[in-house]
Structure 1
Amino acid sequence: MDLTKVFVSGGSTFVQHSPTTDTLYVCSNGILKIFDLTKPEQEPEVLDVITGVRSFEVGPDHAVIASKSGECHLYDLKSLKDTATLLRSPLGLMSSVFTHGGAMVLSGGLDGKLNLVDAQGSDHLLKSTVDVKEQIVALSYNDVGDLAAVSLANGDLRVYSYTAAEPTLVTTFKGMLIEGKTINDTVEDDDENDEFDDDLDLDLDNEASSSSSSPALPSLRPDWHPNGDLLAIPTRSRDIVVYDRANFSQPKFRFQPSPSKPVVDLKWSPNGKYLASAGQDGKLIIWDYKTKKSIQSCPIPVKPLSLSWSRHSDEVVVGTTAGNIGKYRLGGSKFVEDEADEADEAEEEEDIEDDLAEKATSSPSQGLFGDEDDFIIDDDGAGYVEDSGKRRAEVEPRPHKHRRVAETSSHTPSLTPLAPFSPGSTPWSSNRRYLTINPIGYAWSVKQDGYNTITITFFDRSVQKEYHFRDFSGFDVASMNGEAILLAKSGYKSRQEESRTTSTILFKSHDQSRNWQREIRLLPHEFITSVSLGPTSVFVCTSLGYVRRYSVFGRLERLEKMPPVVACINSNRYLLTVTYTSPYSLSFNLQDLEGKYYQRGEGLPVKEPIRGIFFSSDGDPCIVGEDNVVLVLTRWRDPLQACWIPILDANEGIGEVAAGGNVRAWPLGLFKDQFSFIAVRGSQYPSFPLALPSEMEVKVPIGESKEDKDGEKDDEEEAEVDKGNKPPSAEEELLRTIVQAELLNDAIANDDVEDETAEERLAALSIKYDGALLKLVGQSCNEGDVLDAFYLATKLRDDRALAAAAKMAERLGLAGLVRRINKVREGRMEVE
């Protein structure tokens, strides 16, 4: 092992490699040194950092340090500046790690609190706090599954899920780790010996180690495998035990033989093939994941403290307790990666990223695998990375003018500016994206080396358990319900190819009882734009207007051709498709699952991008456009009568229900009179972890000015406003009640409502209708507008409401109005 003195003053030395570049970061004694490994002769850059370092973590562009003083600092590795103090704790912090693709930082320490802080926003808001009621000594984060392994001073290891805004405890390993007698002085700048529990040494060696000869502290930090599935744990019995996150009840395997002394640190290699461990026995051991055994060992001249792998997985750097670092290069051809191949793969990945960035704003649903045309089933789990073919554009000469004319001939179909669409999907950000979000839950994907990991998470975890799987196809279109998820590889990256391509659709039930996969041969320039999963049917739509209906068992049942499809959604009875008409307009079709049309080729009053499309809880089609106005389709069961009614301006409504500014509503669904959404703060798209759904009451955007509202308030309403509850205006309430009653009455008449309380709700809406009219009658009476008051009174349905209107007129001395209202009452009684 090559040993290098980095800090003359000695001290605990932490090492970290950059995950994206050939850069080594070495931190100790308030100094961070940055080494460019491609220029070994060059002097390192130096950055002053906080002293008393307890943990040091490096992300793509930033580093985070937790200190014994209780502060967590964020550093910009490009500008070499201290960016922010993310957290201050009254007691010392033990560990801080990046989470959610580097967007957040999770910290824990002696106060026993797990704090999640926003690392990207300017305010660095505290997102969540979990009181574990025990001193926290180490953290390890699974960025693929958003799982945090939390090591506690009492020897317990807990795993928390951070897939949602509120963390949840997944499992607890009781007494798994070496128990610490005292944690307050576990890491000292001057390499002091610390007291840890020696009971295990007494048990195994029949004698305790003396403090004078005690090696480095045993590790309490487990490490997650790069694929996100496995967790390696250094146990108090000196075994290195590996658990699969799919089953924490029993170990998946153990590395053999066990180290002779407790492990000081352990790290998986970036390619996941090896595990490196440094122990109190002064040995660096390389373990092979495939054989589960040690394959190489090397003595460490100085007490080890931390480990880090190079991004090529061919070298391990050891940080020590004396200011040194040791470098150990894995021997043998089978350990050394082909650098030329890696350079090609890295360049290919950069090409794909550049192409994705070009379409990020207009196509939020692009996938990972670029121009890959063929679907490959990975039977052995080895994965693959194909040549994306991006260099073709660089080597082809610019076509001559006559070539351009030929390319736009009638034989080549014109390409519509469409992109794959999934409800709630987001573009890639920090190697992760949401494939779909709906009121049930969400599917999200994380990029890895040669494949993606897709995780399905539910808002109500008591109903379904979160699960994940590897995606070797590059699925970029999705739809899910309470029973299953439907995924598709759109083929969007191959849309300019002149030959036919193959796409793949995958159906997976949440309980894993029914899974199937089908391939679809697409025409040249064709790609899948949208998929929809209903209780009994699966729909797959393409950019050339082909609509395929499958059963939930994977049988093709219907094929239809229509204009290019932008988006689709289906309920248990109906299918809504949005089609492309021109660059300035969209159309919609509404049909039952057997193909009978209720509305066909009707204009849609929204512009792209479509932000949300769904059926309400009463079965009515709803759509949200770029203006965030929620539209619901009324009278759609009658030919030529369909009408889109705006029932909510989400931009206006979010300001009334959410505190603070710069908040957006990400649409999810409409449940009776409540609009469900995700509150998005300071961003265009939902971030990780995803906030829990919120609700706001629908409110017809009638364009009412603030003065109009103020003029209608009485003393009681002003009191409500003072409390933060803004009462709706009588006009808005009347319009909203009419729309809701019309929708519900139509659904009941056509037996399309599954809610048993539908009749009761309709009766309640009738009462609300008369109540809103009475408010307007009262306003007209107060203003002396007798004609308007009488006009409104004639619209009252219930005789008791007419009697109330007459009493209001009588109190104001409007005798003529009273007589006219009474005549209306008498006329209705005679008819009855």
Structure 2
Amino acid sequence: MASRLRGRPAHAPGQTYCSYSKNGRKLVTVGSNSLLRTFPHNSDDEPPVIDVRTDTHLAVAASNDFFLVGAEDGTVTKYSLLTNSMEEILVRCSLPIRDIALSPDNQWAAVASDEIEVKVVNTRDMEQVFYLREHPRSAKHVSFDFNNSTIAVSCVDGIVYIYSISSEQPQLLKRMDGLIKMLENDADASSRVIWHPDGRAFAAATATKDIQVVARADWKLQKTFKGGHRGDITAAAWSPNGALLATAGADKSLVLWETRTQKVVKSIEDIQDVILCLQWHPTDNVLSYTNTNGELFMRTGAVPGEHAKLLSIALQPAPFNGDPLSDISGNAIGPRSNHAKPGANGWDPASENDYVDGLLDDAIWQDGADFIEDDDGAGYAEAPNRNGKRVANGIAGPIAKRPAPYSTWQPKIHDSFQPGSTPWKGNRRYLCLNLTGFVWTVDQETHNTVTVEFYDRQEHRDYHFTDPYLYDKACLNEKGALFSCPPSAQHPAILYYRPHETWTARTEWRVNLPTSEKITSISLSDSCIVATTTAGYVRIYSLYGLPLKIYRQKSTPAVTCASWRDYVITVGNGPVGGDGTTRLLYTIENVKRDETYQSEDILALPDGVELKSVFFSDKGDPCIYDSEGVLLVLQHWRKAGEAKWVPLLDTRTLDRLAGGKKEESYWPVAVANNKFHCIILKGGEEYPYFPRPLLSDFDFRIPVSGSDEDNAELTHQKMLEEQFVRKTLEHSLAQDLVDNTHATHAQKSEVPVLEREVDKVLLQLLATECREGEERGMKALEIATLMRDQTGKMLEAAGKVAQRFQRDILAEKIASLAERRLVGIVDDDEV
């Protein structure tokens, strides 16, 4: 049946969520206003409205008879679906509710809020409640498995905590680190665990915008649903029989996948706003969802054509690696224990417990291996209870304890990337974007076509060529263009350099790498070419193809590299941190002098923050840009052990973003002329695309302090303080350049100019302090001592400023300071 889109303005614009009743007869929606709506299935009538006292509802979960609503004020309220009226406030929290999950038997509700603990309360008796407390930070999502024995908690720290609730006291079974992304409580992106209906596995959205399946028996990673989204995944749901998976992304996409093959069945393009909640109808070919604009959509015939029959077959297996069930027909698992067709009217997942328990027994006890891992070091863990009966504060039943087997743990490493390149969108992508120009490629199926364009067309002429090697990385500068391609059945990995002009016949060249090596990143400077490979090698060539050196990185796998003149910076994966993620290490060396300035130093990135780009400024200082939108420069990098990363700009503090007026991010391009050059990305976009975007630039602004718009005078003082720190940094970078290189006359003359600029800012700060009164004299004198001018002129000017404001004592001390400095006896205790 053809898709028929039915969009309804369910609530005021804002975050909106929905939930089907278990029999599919009603769909409940909640949103940012004080209304709750219950939409009858297959009805165009105006839905019943429940007017409530609370606003901003952030979670909903429905059974056949009632539904629960979580609000920003911390209350979870129970409403009747039969009378559309409030029954009771089930539980209260001190902070906003973020998620509610109903157990399959509808007797228990797990409540996640901005509090640290998760409350699990009986839906018929609110006095029966127990707590999940092993996670150190608040939970964003909670979800029950299909046999009432396990709850998965997705924490904002990026870890999934699996709790067993089959005994009187809940027990932590497993910490799954590296599966989900660290998210803020109110983020649109989702880290929810979705249990597969066959009971053997669950899935969750990863930081790489994929859906990863995890086996319940041993917690090992299984199949992955890849490449469907360019933005973070915001919602996901299995079909009632597990044959299909629906996912939605922050890039305003909606994708339907076939579970068995992990292939896209349909990609829906007409999405106008970010989807926050996806709900399959239990019996019909209907997929409903709500978005960030207060709207509800019901897609009838959501699964197209020949794939629609997948909704009517029997329960399907979760997609496992090497599982024979994944290679046979849709009837692989056979009918459910109650012989009901999946999703039949009135079907309640609680009736499937016996069936799912049988599956779990096979998975848990086969070959004598227990799937439970003892994370607390006690050596034992409980097995799921078979009877599923609860008592006052938990579920009573026999506890089988067995030694837990050792598990294989792997750290989460940083993937390699090429600075300035973008992923494919359609049949084209950018291979390089910088201030010289840009390189882009088009997939022509049998080959690619590469185009090189320049901003200065008077200096260089654009060109394009046919690319049979399928180059996937490129660099561009004023001297030439560098390309590399991955190995294939026809050729190994190749480096290809094409100069723009030479005084002889053009000497473009190619070099083949050993068969087993792949190129992970490349860089091009005025004097050398660098390539990092999967073998851990750093290969350095001259511009004419002469291999200069090859060595193996200490920190592997390699992540990226950059170069400027004779300087090369390489970044690789280092030791594992406390969160299970490797720390990035960088090395800086001079190729011509064979000198190493920084060796395997730690790249300064906070937990959960990723490296987005690394490059050299136009003055030759290493810079990085991270996923939080912070630009940093490396100070004192030519002195071993003294290098430190200093923030030049935090794009989150830009005036254009004040008050949430704009939703945008920034693609780093270069640091030049004391500005950050970038491409502005609107909305949820993560990469620049075609047509070619315009370059923008922002002045540096070191995040010294927050702004205070209500106090103009204080704002001016903070601005001067920021200028002082920034000018001091610029002077330090310029001084290091002059002290450690054969600097030009212009570079040498820049140092005293910057020194005077620092003193001028200090003079303005001194005037600000004098204006405040005599009680600020100590700070004013301290400012005077920071002046760098050795001639005494700036201190003389400082004394005149003090006299103008009638600060006589301060003026005397500044005069004394000037005298002592002239004879070279000033000390640090002058203040």
User: Shorter-chain-normalised TM-score: which range?
Assistant: 0.3 to 0.5
TM-score between both structures, scaled by the size of structure 1: 0.47
TM-score between both structures, scaled by the size of structure 2: 0.47
